Amino acid sequence: MKITNDRDESERNLRTFVLAMKAVQESAEMEQYGEYKNARINLISYQRLLQRGMKSKKDQREYINFIVQAEKLDAFMRQFQAKEKLLDSNPDLQLDDFAAKYIIQMKRSSHILFESYNDK
């Protein structure tokens, strides 16, 4: 595999669905450890990268798939942050079953959630 230090060149050859999946998985893992701010920054950083790398309709569809999943994860993080703040709980707050299941599901996100199979 070719390696480059040229940002423009690397962004011309993005595999959108791979980056989208990685972004959601990384952010879900950060969320699991209470790193909400870093998780949200990570999602925004990947969003900007994906925007710069969109070159085709397929990229656009995969970007939209990312936005849908990222927004779900972000909303969940905002809700959980508010819950922690409301309960004045500490960072070691135990996740309830629903929260734990959701985070694990996002960490294991499959490319199927992001990849567009229609090349037009």
CB 37 within 8 Å of CB 76: no
Phi, then psi, of 28 in degrees rounded to 5 = -65, -40
Residue 96: C-alpha distances to residues 2, 33, 61, 75, 99 (Å): 45, 14, 33, 17, 5
Which residue range(s) make up the domain with 99? 14-113
104 in a structural domain: yes
CB 20 within 8 Å of CB 69: yes
Q: What is the pLDDT of residue 112?
A: 66
70 has pLDDT over 70: yes
pTM: 0.72
Question: What is the 8-class DSSP label of residue 56?
Answer: S
pLDDT tens digit string along 75-99?
Answer: 888 887 777 776 665 555 555 666 6
53 in a structural domain: yes
6 in a structural domain: no
User: Count of alpha carbons within 13 Å of 46, Cβ hemisphere only?
Assistant: 26
* SS3 (DSSP) at 15: coil
